[in-house]
Amino acid sequence: MNPCISYVNGISEKPLLGLTIGQMLDQITEKYPDNPALIVHHQQIIWNYRQFHSKVMEVARALIALGIKEGDRIGIWSLNNAQWTSLQFATAKIGAILVNINPNYRTHELKYALKKAGVSILFTQDKTKYMDYTGMLFEILPVLKNTKSNDKINSNDLPKLKKIIRFHKDNISGMMSWNNFLKLSNNHTDDEVQKIQFGLDFDDPVNIQFTSGTTGFPKGATLSHHNILNNGYFVGERMKITQNDKVIIPVPLYHCFGMVIGNLGCVTHGAAMIYPSEMFDADKILQAVHKYKATVLHGVPTMFIAELNHPDFNKFDLTSLRTGIMAGAPCPIEIMKQVKTKMHISGIQIAYGMTETSPVSTQTKPGTPIEKQVATVGQVHPHLEIKIIDPLSGEIIPIGQKGELCTRGYSIMKKYWDDPGKTNEAIDTNGWMHSGDIAVMDKDFFIKITGRIKDMIIRGGENIYPREIEEFLFTHPKISDVQVIGVPDDKYGEEIMAWIKLKDDTEATKEEIINFCKGKIAHFKIPRYIKFVSDFPMTVTGKIRKVEMREISIRELK
């Protein structure tokens, strides 16, 4: 290994798992039949591995009864619940491909995802406080009103969609109930399920996850058993997860964090999956840790902040906690200190990745200094390679320089579903997945993410990284949030623009912001344009849509 270039490979004494997800569940159930497998706090469910395996087999038999074959796409549009997890493992058992649909999607996005993936059966919940799933389905599929619950759906708009099954005890027109769906399982045997499983390959696709699409329509990252089972396993290994752990999973299951780091990280080790609520609720999380004596707590930094700020925080006993994954955004050092001390999570770890890499590529290890935990995303994962390249030449750059992070290895998705063009843009001919993230590697091979390539501004030949300017502007006492973009300019090619959200009850002028920058950052990094806003355009998963900010700015600046 050349110590001077930004390349590293993850050495491991433990081999990759050569199993399908169904085989893994069988093995763990045989090994730990009485261990708690799934605890769903809001549904009052506690299943051990024997019971959970039995539920999965029941769902798999019912899917066979509906004529589901290997490679068929099964959609799920729901918040976190036991049905979601039963379907995750049941589809894997019979070689169907689970299509995760964001439960925040509205009619336009739902229709796009169903059509793109060619979903034949959709599982959904009825409604929540914020979303009427049943109502939206009647809106995009008017034929449901005249379709019997047991009949096939015939829609010109979504010709492949034949059945909708609702997590409810009653049938309604066009939709079968979950209870009646489960009754279909009586027509088939466990031996039939195992026979199908025996014919599957661990490289078969098992999951389609739509990336949030900050630059256009979402793309369907297609992941295999091998991709996600191994990623869940090695995340758990680095955390030293065992069959004695109880893991709180407060993040959404439709996302890799929930279903891979959470669910598969548990099942590969015989640990318990715990869902405190169907969507994030700090109170329910603290209750669940206290009640079940949980040992592991996952989340994004904002979740940990909400838990720490809970008015009754001190009433909960969190001393059972020892580790967890924090991912999704950088964590302020003060919050990290409180998570380690007040929440007793001394072994908290940081992870980084993307849906297309199943998801984790880097993770901190036990004992990583706190400075590295808040400033970096850890070191390379086992059996993976990472390099940082010059985005223009493609050459690997020296340690300490900024470039594009690329990953290669078992975790790379098979493709974007039905999109060879986008697949070839993302994965090069040597098998490297290009992340689009700007990163830097230090001499100890820790990786720091510093921004997105698409966000990089080239002004008069200078490469400018918006993240640097954003981090500086955050130090202004009146600024609550800031996003920096490049806009076209005749003289310099691009100019810098800052969209600024001020703290409540404060006012500022463009001149005040520019004067604040003078003498503190290089003159070419000082924003030429300032726009004060109350909010930023976002995707449904909460990512800032800088592409839309640019479009709006270009229109306004003419």
In order of their start, the domains of the chain are 49-210 (3.40.50.12780), 456-557 (3.30.300.30)
257 contact partners, CB below 8 Å, separation of at least 6: 251, 298, 325, 327, 328, 359
**DSSP-assigned states of every residue in 464-519:** E-HHHHHHHHTTSTTEEEEEEEEEEETTTEEEEEEEEEEPTT----HHHHHHHHTT
Write the CA distances from 164 to 114, 121, 135, 333, 407, integer angstroms.
12, 6, 13, 47, 38
pLDDT of residue 213: 54
Q: Residues of 507-524 as b/e, b for ≥16 C-beta within 10 angstroms?
A: ebeeeebeebbeeeeeee
- Please report the pLDDT score of residue 524 as a whole number: 87
For residue 328, the model assigns a pLDDT of: 81
Amino acid 19: pLDDT: 98
Per-residue pLDDT of the chain (558 residues; tens, 9 = 90+): 566 899 999 999 999 999 999 999 999 999 999 999 999 999 999 999 999 999 999 999 999 999 999 999 999 999 999 999 999 999 999 999 999 999 988 898 899 999 999 999 999 999 998 899 999 999 999 999 999 999 999 999 999 999 999 999 999 999 999 999 999 999 999 999 999 999 999 999 999 999 865 456 789 999 999 999 999 999 999 999 999 999 999 999 999 999 999 999 999 999 999 999 999 999 999 999 999 999 999 998 889 989 999 999 999 999 999 999 999 877 878 889 999 999 999 999 999 999 999 999 999 999 999 999 999 999 999 999 999 999 889 999 999 999 999 999 999 999 999 999 999 999 999 999 999 999 999 999 999 998 888 888 888 878 788 888 988 898 999 998 999 999 998 888 899 999 999 999 999 999 999 999 998 888 889 999 999 999 999 876 667 888 899 999 999 998
Per-residue confidence (pLDDT) for residue 200, from 0 to 100: 98
0.85 exceeded by pTM: yes
Token readout for 556 is 């306004």
CB atoms within 10 A of CB 482: 23
Q: Note the pLDDT of residue 165.
A: 98
Residues in the chain: 558
Report the alpha-carbon distance of residue 138 to residue 143 in Å, rounded: 8
The pair of structure tokens assigned to 425 is 């843009």
CB 450 within 8 A of CB 402: yes
Residues 364 and 350: beta-carbon distance below 8 Å: yes
Nearest in space to 473 (alpha carbons), one of 464, 460, 482:
482
| pLDDT (0 to 100) of residue 2 | 67
Q: Which residue type does 455 have?
A: D
Q: What is the pLDDT of residue 301?
A: 86
